[in-house]
Structure 1
C-alpha cells in the first residue's frame, strides 16, 4: 500500500538522524523524469575525536566523495539537503529493523519494513577498511586466501578485494532496485533467491555475494556456482562446507549446465570471449530477472574486424591494431546490450571498478522488464549496425539456435 512520500521520508529522516540506532542508510535510483546530483549516497555514524559524526559518502559516475557532519544540527542540514534529491529508493537499516522505500511514478512511497531477529550492534569506526561491505578479516576472505590468518588483507590481493567490494555494491543496489520495482520477487526463508554464478572458477565473488547478501543484508539466498573443472567444484564445495555457506557447485559447461529450478539472478564475471555470450543466452533461456555480466576479452568480433573490409569512412578506426581492438570491445558490448534489449531486458553498461585496478572494468546489467521485441527501432538499429560492419555476433547465433 502506498503512502504520501513526504510522510515516509520524514520517518526515514528520524531513523537517519538517530545516532545510537542507525546502522546504515542508502539512497539510490532516480524518480521518473528527474536526476539526482548523485548516483548513490550512503549514510552511517562514525566516532571521531571531535565526537560522533554522520558520515555521508556520495557517489558520482567516477568516484566517491566523503564528508563528516557533527551529529545534531550539521547532520540534520546534510540529511535534509539530500532528502530533497529525487532518489527513487531508500534502504534504511537500524539496530532493530530494515526499511525499504520505493518511490512510485505518482510520487508516492511503498514501504517494506522487517524486524531483525536480534539487535545488531553498529560499527562506528572511521577507518575506511571498517566501512567496507565485507571487512578484510571476514572468514570468507581468510578461507579464500585473500587475507592472512590475522585477518589482514594481503598486499598482493588488494586489487581483488577492491573488485569484490565494488561488485558487492553494484549487486546490492541492483537487487534492491529490482525487488523494489517488482522485477524480482522478495525472497523468503522457505523460498530463497536463486542465484547462479556461471564460470565461477575459484568462486571469490560467489562466496562474497552469498556472505554479504545473507549475513549483512539478511536476504535468504541460494547460490550455485558452475564451472567446467571438477577441481574447482571439489575445492569450492570443501570451502562451502568449512564456512557453513549455503551454496552448491556443479561441474558443467555454461551452455550445458542444467539447473532446476532455474536461477532468478545470473552472474557471469570475467568469462572469456564468447563465454559471456553463452551466459547471456542461458539467462534468456531461464528468463532470469537480473543479469550481471562483466566481459573479459573480445576476440570473436576482433577477429571478424580483421577479416572484413572496413566500411567507409571508418578505416582510420581499424588501421591501427590498438584502435581496432578497442573498437572491437565497444562493438561487442554494444551489440550484446542491443540483443538483450530485443529480448525484453532493460540494459545498463557501466564501469564497476576503476581502470587503475583492472583493465576489465565494464559491467552489463540487464533487468527483465517485458516481452521480446519483434520489430521497431531497437531491432532496426541492431540490424543496421551488424550489416554495416558485416558482423555475425556469437550471441545472435546462440539466440537464433534456441529451440
Structure 2
C-alpha cells in the first residue's frame, strides 16, 4: 500500500476500498468492460491516462494496460492478481479519477486535491450479450430504451421497444453520448458541481434530451442543459416535452450561436453549423470557458474561395470533389490547431452522421489542465495559411479580437 493511500481520510479510504472491490468483482465475474484512470498527477509529465481492458493470453485471463501519452501509447499485459495490485497502486497516487464500466455498473471515483472523494454509481442492465474475454462484445449502450424521452420523441413505442425506422437515430444518440462520456472523463469537470451545456442547432432535441438524461440519471450529476434552435415550432415542441417529462434543468431557446451567448459554459455542442457558423460556435465555446467543445462542421465556403493550390497539385484538384475535400481538410485543420493554441487537446475524427448525410466529421476539444505555449502552434497556422494563400480565417479573427490567442 502506498504512502498516499495510507494517509487517506477514513471516508476516502472506504470509498477507495469499495471501488477496488467493484473492480475485483467485475474481473472475477467476467463482466469488466473497461477501466479508465484519468486526471494524472504522477511524475510522468507526458502521461495522460491509462485504459484497462480484459483479454486472454494463452487461454489465461489477463488485463491489458494501455498507457496513453501525448504522442504515443504503451501497452502492458498483466496477470489478474498483478493487474489488480497495479490498479491499487495507481489510484489515487498517480490518477485522481477512475471510471469503471461493467455489464451492470458504471462507477466513477474522483479525488480532490485534499483527497476527499466523490463516488458515483449507476446500476443498469446493459443492452449486450454476456461477452467473452476476446473481441466479440456487443457494443455498449449508454442509454436505456426505457427512458421516457425516447418514447415521447418517437424513438420507441409505448412498450419501450425500438421503432425499426429509428434504429439509425438510436445508434447515433448512443455514439454521441459515448463520445461525450469519454470527453467528460478526461476533462477537468467535476460531477459534484453543476455542468452547464449549450446545444446549438438542437432541432427536435434528440441529443439535447439524451445528454441531459445521461447527466441526471446515469451520472447523478446536476445537468443544466440549454437547446438553442432557430425554428420556433421546434423550441415550443421541445419545451413542452421537457415540462411533460419532468426534465428539471432542461430548457430550449429561440436563436442561434450569434444571438444566444452564455457568459459561462462547461460544454458547447454545435453539430452541422454551416460554414463560418462553426467558427462562431467554437469561438463562443472558448470565450465562455467551455471545458468540452463538440462540433460537427458543415460546408467550408470561406476557405474554399481563398485557396490557391500549388501548381503541382492542380492535376489532382481539377476534380470538384477533391477541391471540396481539400477545403474541408484545411479548414478543419486550422480550427483544430487554433483550439490547441487556446489550451485544448483536440481530435478530429469520423462520427456517425446525425442527419443521415455524409457530413460525419467531429472536432472534439477538451480543455487541458496545464496551460500550453501557443507560439509554435501559431507559427504552424501561419505557415499553413501561407502555403495555401489564405488571408482570412473567421475563427482566428474572432479569437484575436478577444485576445484569446495570447
Contact 2:273 2:298 in 1 (8 A): yes
Q: CA 1:224–1:375 in 2, change beyond 3 Å: closer, same or farther?
A: closer
Q: Which ranges of structure 1 fall in alignment gaps of 5 or more residues?
A: 44-53, 60-75
Alignment partner of 1:160 is 2:169: yes
Cα distance, 1:14–1:29 mapped onto 2, change above 3 Å: closer
* Superposed counterparts of 1:3-402, under 5 Å: 3=5, 12-18=19-25, 26-28=34-36, 32=44, 33=46, 41=53, 90-92=98-100, 98-100=107-109, 112-114=117-119, 122-123=124-125, 126-127=128-129, 131-178=140-187, 183-188=188-193, 192-246=194-248, 247-259=250-262, 262-305=264-307, 309-353=308-352, 359-369=358-368, 376-391=375-390, 392-402=392-402
| TM-score for the superposition, normalised by structure 1 | 0.73
Secondary structure of 1:314's match? helix
SS in 1 for 2:35: strand
**Structure 1, 236-245 or 90-99: larger mean CA deviation:** 90-99
Q: Does the 8 Å contact 1:96/1:115 carry over to 2?
A: no
1:306-333 Cα offsets, whole Å, 9 max, x none, are xxx3224332442221111111121111
Q: 1: distance between equivalents of 2:54 and 2:219?
A: 15
CA positional deviation for 1:348: 2.1
Runs of 5+ in structure 2 lacking a partner? 7-12, 56-60, 67-77, 130-136
Cα displacement (A) at 1:378: 0.8
Stretch deviating more after TM superposition (237-246 or 9-18): 9-18
1:370 Cα deviation from its structure 2 partner: 7.1
Aligned length: 357
The separation in 1 between residues aligned to 2:81 and 2:205, in whole angstroms, is 38
Measure, in 2, the Cα distance between the counterparts of 1:315 and 1:147: 50
Give the C-alpha shift of residue 253 in structure 1. Answer: 2.2
Contact 1:227 1:254 in 2 (8 A): no
Residues 376 and 125 of structure 1: CA distance in aligned 2, closer, same or farther (over 3 Å): closer
Give the SS at the match of 2:100.
strand
Aligned pair in 2 of structure 1 residues 387, 121: CA closer, same or farther (>3 Å)?
A: closer
- Work out the CA distance in 1 between the residues paired with 2:238 and 2:316: 43
Determine if contact 1:226/1:253 at 8 Å carries over to the other structure: yes
Secondary structure of the residue aligned to 1:231 is helix
Give 1:155 deviation, angstroms: 2.3
Q: CA RMSD in A?
A: 4.4
TM-score by length of 2: 0.72
Distance across 2 between alignment mates of 1:279 and 1:207:
20
Comparing 84-93 and 362-371, the one that deviates more: 84-93
Structure 1 residue 366, shift from structure 2 partner = 1.6
- Secondary structure, counterpart of 1:245 in structure 2: coil
